[in-house]
A and B are shown apart, each in its own frame.
Chain A
Amino acid sequence: MPEHTRLSLKEIWQRFKTSPLWLRQMVLGLFLLCDSYLGMIYAAGIIGWSGLLTSELKWLVLSIEMMAGGLMFVRALLSQTQPKWKGLVTVSIPLLVVLMAFGVLELLLTGLGRSATMNFNLSSIGISSLYWAAVYLSIAIGLTLTYKVQHFANFAQAEMMLLGSYVAITLMWSDRFFPISNAPKDGVLNWELLIWAGISAFVISGIVGVIIDRTVFRKLRNKMGTPQVMMIASLGVSMVVRAILFMRYSASTHRFVPDRDFRLTTSTFEIPTERLQLHLGDRVNAPLMELAPSVNAYAFSYTKVALVVGVFGAVLLLLFLLNRTRLGRQMRAVADNPDLAASSGIHLERVYSNTAFLSAGIAGLGGALLAAILPINPELGLMLLLPAFAVIVLGTIGSIPGVIIGALIVGLLRAISEPVLVGAGNALDRPTASGFAEVMPFVFLVGVLLLAPRGIGSAIENWNIERIRNRRLIQQNSNHALMNTTSDMLGPVSSMLARGSVYIDQINEFKDKVIGLMVNTVASAWAIPDKCWSRVSAVIRSACSLIPGTLSRLGVPLTNPIRIARDTERGSWIAFILFFLLLVTIVLLLPSVTALTKTMQVARIISLLGIFGLACFSLNLHTGITGMTNFGVIFFVGIGAVTVGLLSAPVETNGYGWNPWMATIVAVLIAAIAGWLLAYPTARLRMDYFAIVTISLGEMLRISLQAEPMLRAGTVTSAIGISQFSRPLESWWENGPSGTMGNLLGLHVDAPYVVLLAILAIISLVAVWILLNTILSSPWGRILRSIREDEVVSQHHGHNILMHKAASLALGAAIAALAGALWAWLNTNVWPEFMNPVRTTFLIWAAYIIGGRANNRGMIIGAFVIVIVEFLFNVMVVSRGSASLPFHNMTAYLDSVFSWLVVNVGGIIWSDRSITEIFAKGDVLISLPHLKLALIGTVIVGALLMSSKGLLPEVPSRPQRPTTIASNPIEEEGNK
């Protein structure tokens, strides 16, 4: 008998291994569900029995296990649903995910023997979700439109929204409208300013959108820039626009008051409401759910009504325009296939301009209406951009109906997550839990994407196609009587719609004529300065061409003195050395007062170069080599920094008191495991969806640092942040080598710790560089590249794509974690702000694109440029304070130019009041930190326009082509 059992066990295992994927997933999912259930309710199961984890950590792991099991089970079920039900099931996934989360919470609370009461005020939630939906939609609709037609994510969309806000505020300060805005309360609403502000915000933002499209994106389109390049260029554009808004309107907040009566606390619609009380967990005699009367009616303020009506109205108009007019058909045709559209006589550039106008215009309108609700400052856009990305991904990128539904779902989620988190947080001794409300859209999105990898919009679209197909079939088969009666019934409506579409097309043609006229005028006016400019540039060019000649005369052996072909191995090295020396020269020229401060400055630059260089290597491995668009570099860097910090912080202050070396090894391992595991659920995701998942993970970690007491160490647990952790070799350094090094550098004092850190950073950077080069020139490197080029072909050749992707993710994550450890040591603390994507992920991406994708030498140059730019422009930022500082005179000159621009040039457009409201002190001074931001943005855009493949493009491993073919620059740039 024992033999028999053994055999059957083996048999079961064999069967399990050979059974289809969905069955295996289902079994594993069920196992995880049961195990975590046992763990929660009976303190049994793997986690309960093992006793490895205690208290909070145990419950956390159990909840995650249960959620993962549930998702896996449902995913397996989904893959087996009938095709005709698939659409419906996919759309109901969001509900399923929410229900699952409630289930986990219920069991968790029951297991802990606690109860949570959640108050859902129905009207409050309904209206709050409409409000959030409108806010996100005003950015997301433009994002998705740009994505649909031009296939790239436009980061500048949020700034277009802000532009609309500031147009409204400027209009409010104008001589004509200020009396309306400033009028005392009189109980009568004056709509004039609000309507004018909405229209002008729409038009002006739209025009700015077109100008940006013409000056930046069109050039990149002509150079066949990839979507990634366009995206990073839009990041640069958004920095420039934001910086201009900062300089003109300062960082202070301003409100748009259309009429004081709009903003009174009594200017509201009273909406009757009821409370839905939900009791979860160990409830004593309380039902799961009950309705209770609300003490007050919910007040829906007029300004919010205006925003919701305005934004949803604009979106409906856009839908009409897309589906009913010629312009809309053209846009859809270009979205489907630009070449085919062009061949059938559609003017591509005009369609792109129209898209840019509409995207920016709707965002601007939303911005103007939002300014009536929130105090506006130029940072606001960044807060809304990431949730807007979540919205477009949830609704399937590029689907307009999808984005509307996505916005409503995310809005609803924002609104219900607050009461849920407050209720659960109070029950779980986590009063800080409500801080997570901000990332709930991301958490939810990740859950949904695991189940429906293409978002819910594609399901809607498929359903739509199905519907149209069916209708066609019915039309063909049956008589048309039924159809005719319905169309007769809808006669007046449809003729009205038809007339509307004719008007829109007429307006569009008229607009095209006007724009054509304007373009011609500008072109003829520009002709003269343009001629001068071309002469000047010719002179500069001839001057530059002398340099290589001089070099060769000095005996520098250049076989081909003019041509440095950066896409060959040798040329790439030469270019690398040239750029590197150039950057080193700048470092040496940066001013500093004493030898000590100069040493510290250089050491800091080297340390940052090491950190950013390692992060760039990681990104390059993921994105440049393997082709997975990773927008969560900071997630892996953060894992490294947080783990190192927590493990090596003192035990008495919530840390673990480890040796920093051990902590680093563990951190690198944890990050590698996280990277490996990430590959499984995300393998099916398309490029952009993977990007959103990774950026969401980064945000989740950042908010956890803010709101989760377990991630606090170094002082009391009420203090956010990790500090007081020990750093490697710190005591060894201070007891000897620092003195020696100090003498060596001629400092007369001990060399500070940052010098040692710089040495560590350089060693890590070079070691990883050599390691990566070895790995990438091995067969495995070629497999990774083949996955990037064509996953299907690579799979066809017998490679296990999933394994290779997982290995690539793990290796990259480990490198990023090392960067994180160095970063934690340099900063001496880990604070949530350190993970802000604007200062980390986006900068690393900029370095990666500027340096040159898939070229590790380029990564070093890119990282170096990003680090140096910060230091160089900082010198300018501080220069106003003292006449003795470099650039001081230049600052004064810049101030006068800026003042002239704002007062004399801008004064034609805006009123004096709009200047004195901002520059209350009388002097119109330029804000230098924001000028720095604008310059960084310009560097990014400029570098991409100059060379869209980066400063050091990838060196192709294929044999050299005959030189005669590679003479057409466009052809070569387009060669992906």
Chain B
Amino acid sequence: MGIVRSTKIGLLLLSITMLAFLLVGCGSTSQAVKIGLLSPQTGPIAQYAPGFEDAGKVAIDELNATHQGDFVFELIVGDSGCDGTQAATAAQTLIDSGVSAIVGAACSGATTGAIAVAAPAGVPMVSYASTSPALTTADDNGHFFRVVPSDAQQAVALTDVAAAAGASNPAVLYMTNDYGSGLGDNFASNWSGSVCTSVGYDPSEGSYDASALAQSVIDGGCDSALLMSYATDGAAIMEALSSQGFKGTIIGADGLADAAFLTSFTDSSAVDGLIATRPRPGVESEAKSTFEAAYAAAGGADGAIYTGETYDAIKLVAAAIVSAGDGSLVGAINSTGQNYVGASGTHTFDAAGDVLGTGYEVCQFDGTAFSCPRTWTQDGGLK
């Protein structure tokens, strides 16, 4: 009995010591620039992680092609788990591996957890998808930036779009995560007319019934529906609305405003007539089309969200690293991020590290054809 047990302990000892030797033996130095990416590879939005990483790879490949000979950029991907504790541990591992900056995370809770590690270590962070207003005031010592505008402005754009589409009694369907509920709350406070019903749902598959949601829109007698959703759940709800015979206008936010949204449908007839807003790309910018072509060529994941933002965040950080030399990277990110023309819009960081945005473009599906004929700006309104 005792012998067996002590042997087991011995075995454990031996194997762990061997592991430890492996750990130490492999370390060596390299002059390459490492950029960390926190991606929600496990957890509630794991389905969108492949899209973020594919966009990241597109950015790194382009950077290495442009800076050939000077810099070798490496993307180190950690798993944020969409959770503060795990993201902070992952950020610690990324910092331990020697990354110069961290791009991420996606979920706002994960981002705040990671800031608590990255800021004291002096590693700047640029988030590509965290929209929570809580991040504006986060205790980051100036180390945190993001390339996504906060929800408040888009909610104003959505009210104008809804009014222009003739909605008088819209239903508001929103996800109960920070993105959805922020957008939903801000829409409700900016909308002057009546809201016929306001329904929150958890976007994880298996926790909402799309046809029941659709039926509640119809039973409320709503003439239109606003969808603050991601691509997969948005498509499921639109299919259910169409199958329950809803005839009103459907208006969506940036989760749906993409030609690739079509890939989330099995019956593409349901997408017809959708109006959706998304951040406006820079004037006469080719960045967006260039990125989209490269993403498709690299076989990027379908039904992805925030890919343009991920791409922009990585390229912006890389540009700052190149320009900073031995100087402060935080300062360099700040100065690079002034009128930075990216695939997801023109980004200008303010003092809190937020982007102001240059307004939104209003896109629509006619049949399955996707176009963005109108724009919305803070000053000019809908045009």
Contacts and interface: CB of A to CB of B under 8 A. Distances in A.
Interface stretch (A333-341, A374-382, A397-405, A658-666): A374-382
B41 to A, nearest CB: 4
Given A544-B14, A593-B98, A721 B108 contact: yes
A885 B97 contact: yes
A275 B88 CA distance: 50
A248 interface: no
B79 A881 contact: no
Given A422-B199, A724-B139, A839 B244 contact: no
Contacts of A132: 209
A578 B121 CA distance: 33
Contact of A268 (B9, B94, B243, B299): B243
Interface of A: 119, 121, 124-125, 127-128, 131-132, 135, 246, 250-253, 255, 257, 260, 263-266, 268, 275, 294-299, 301, 304, 374-380, 383-384, 414-415, 418-419, 422, 425-426, 431-435, 437-438, 540-541, 543-545, 547-548, 560, 562-566, 575, 578, 582, 585-586, 589-593, 596-598, 600-601, 604, 608, 706-707, 714-716, 718-721, 723-724, 752-754, 823, 826-829, 831-834, 836, 839, 870-872, 874-875, 877-878, 880-890, 920-922, 927, 929-930, 932-933, 946-947, 966-967, 969, 972
Nearest to A880: B77
A966 B85 CA distance: 44
Interface string B1-27: 111111111111110110110111111
B96 A721 contact: no
Nearest to A374: B205
Nearest to B37: A881
B41 A295 contact: no
Contact of A718 (B19, B185, B212): B185
Given A295-B218, A718-B182, A878-B78, A600 B42 contact: no
Contact of B181 (A378, A432, A562): A432
Nearest to A124: B215
A590 B301 CA distance: 34
Interface string B253-291: 000000000001011011000000000000000000000
Interface stretch (B44-52, B342-350, B363-371, B374-382): B44-52
A358 to B, nearest CB: 23
Give the dominant DSSP class at B's interface. Answer: helix
A881 B10 CA distance: 34
B92 A604 contact: yes
A264 B267 contact: yes
Nearest to A264: B267
B112 interface: yes
Given A435-B176, A592-B95, 20 more contacts: A121-B215, A124-B211, A251-B41, A252-B47, A296-B244, A380-B205, A419-B216, A544-B14, A586-B16, A600-B117, A707-B176, A826-B116, A834-B109, A877-B90, A882-B30, A882-B74, A886-B26, A920-B301, A921-B54, A929-B41
B298 interface: yes
B187 to A, nearest CB: 10
B204 A884 contact: no
Contacts of B2: 560, 562-565
A435 B177 CA distance: 10
Nearest to B8: A946
Contact of B75 (A124, A419, A836, A881): A881
Contacts of B86: 839, 870
A720 B205 contact: no
Given A415-B212, A714-B134, A929 B42 contact: yes
A252 to B, nearest CB: 5
B361 interface: no
A766 B380 CA distance: 63
A590 B23 contact: yes
Nearest to A541: B7
Contacts of A828: 112-113, 115-116, 138-139
B3 to A, nearest CB: 6
Contacts of A419: 216
Contacts of A834: 83-85, 109
A586 B22 CA distance: 12
A301 to B, nearest CB: 6
Contact of B93 (A585, A875, A890): A875
Given A374-B206, A597-B96, A921-B299, A827 B116 contact: yes
13 contacts: A121-B215, A252-B301, A377-B205, A379-B42, A545-B10, A562-B3, A582-B13, A589-B23, A721-B109, A754-B117, A878-B90, A882-B32, A882-B97
B76 interface: yes
B103 to A, nearest CB: 12
A831 B96 contact: no
Given A383-B205, A828-B139, A930-B42, A600 B74 contact: no
Interface string B202-242: 10111101011101101111000000000010001001001
Contacts of A264: 267, 269
B96 A601 contact: yes
Contacts of A827: 84-85, 88, 112-113, 116
A969 B4 contact: yes
Nearest to A128: B212
Contacts of B5: 564, 566, 947
Contacts of A541: 7, 11
Nearest to B1: A969
Given A251-B41, A836-B83, A265 B8 contact: no
Select the residue from A250, A422, A882, A883 with max chain B CB neighbours within 10 A.
A882
Given A828-B112, A833-B109, A874-B90, A299 B84 contact: no
Given A714-B134, A884-B29, A831 B109 contact: yes
B293 to A, nearest CB: 16
Contacts of A871: 89, 92-93
A234 to B, nearest CB: 19
A544 B10 contact: yes
A418 B109 contact: no
A544 B9 CA distance: 9
A597 B7 contact: no
A886 B22 contact: yes
A5 to B, nearest CB: 56
Given A260-B266, A719-B133, A884-B28, A383 B219 contact: no
A922 B299 contact: yes
Contact of B30 (A119, A255, A870, A883): A883
The 4 residue pairs across chains A and B that have the minimum distance between CB atoms: A831-B109, A563-B2, A544-B10, A881-B76
A878 B88 contact: no
A874 B10 contact: no
A877 B90 CA distance: 9
Nearest to A540: B11
Contact of B117 (A540, A604, A884): A604
B91 to A, nearest CB: 10
Contact of B204 (A379, A435, A719, A874): A379
Contact of A578 (B9, B17, B200): B9
A27 B78 CA distance: 59
A380 B206 CA distance: 6
Contacts of B294: none
